């Protein structure tokens, strides 16, 4: 990867395959690379579609599939450079939340949802019905905020002790 030129997208849109494409003699190298990328998708959901797409060809990979892995590696090199340039952003926690008063039509309970980011990475999310029925949208929002603050406090405590 040292000589790879960083690029902005993991794969080209609508990559063409030909029936004359050469199959790899030993697919084990390709399989190991895809396995490593599958592990990486746990923290990089933006790669999930591309890696799952490539994993369909584990039994008979071609040279084109290997080139696709190289392109994903180039993308990762570009991402690594961005992350190194913004290390400060990795230590910040951001949260977005929303509540819908009486969002469940059968029980009339409010629904809540939140996303918590550590830097640019989604680390926790929730979408569920509240345990009690709220009398107003303001009450539903306050309950959602309280629920989210509990989770944020827990995450903040645990991230500072492990950094």
Q: Is the pTM of this model over 0.75?
A: no
**110: how many CB neighbours lie within 10 A of its CB?**
24
6: confidence class by pLDDT, cuts 50, 70, 90: confident
Q: Report pLDDT for 1.
A: 59
Q: Which of 25-39, 108-122, 123-137 has the highest mean pLDDT?
A: 25-39
Residue that has been written with the tokens 């998708």 in this structure:
41
The pLDDT of residue 30 is 92
**Percent of the chain with pLDDT strictly greater than 70:** 81
- Has residue 80 got a pLDDT over 90? no
pLDDT of residue 31: 93
Mean pLDDT of 75-86: 64
pLDDT one-digit tens code per residue, 112-127: 888 888 777 888 888 8
Provide the β-strand partners of residue 93. 118
Q: Is 138 exposed, middle or buried (0-12, 13-18, 19+ CB in 10 A)?
A: exposed
Residue ranges covered by each domain of the chain: 1-85, 89-162
Q: What is the mean pLDDT of residues 126-154?
A: 83
Q: Which residues, in sequence order, are CB contacts of 156 under 8 Å at separation 6+?
A: 93
**Helix, strand or coil, per DSSP, at residue 14:** coil
């Amino acid at each position: 990867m040292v000589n790879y030129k960083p690029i902005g997208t993991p794969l080209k849109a609508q990559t063409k395959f030909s029936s004359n494409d050469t199959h790899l003699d030993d697919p084990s190298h390709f399989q190991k690379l895809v396995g490593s990328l599958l592990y990486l998708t746990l923290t990089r959901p933006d790669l999930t579609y591309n890696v799952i797409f490539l994993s369909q060809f584990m039994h008979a990979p071609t040279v084109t599939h290997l080139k696709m892995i190289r392109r994903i590696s180039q993308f990762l090199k570009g991402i690594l450079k961005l992350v190194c340039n913004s290390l400060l952003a990795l230590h910040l926690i951001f949260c977005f939340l929303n509540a819908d008063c009486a969002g469940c039509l059968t029980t009339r309970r409010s629904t809540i949802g939140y996303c918590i980011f550590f830097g640019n990475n989604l680390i926790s999310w929730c979408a569920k019905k509240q345990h009690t029925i709220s009398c107003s949208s303001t009450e539903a929002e306050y309950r959602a905020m309280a629920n989210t603050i509990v989770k944020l406090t827990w995450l903040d405590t645990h991230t500072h002790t492990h950094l």
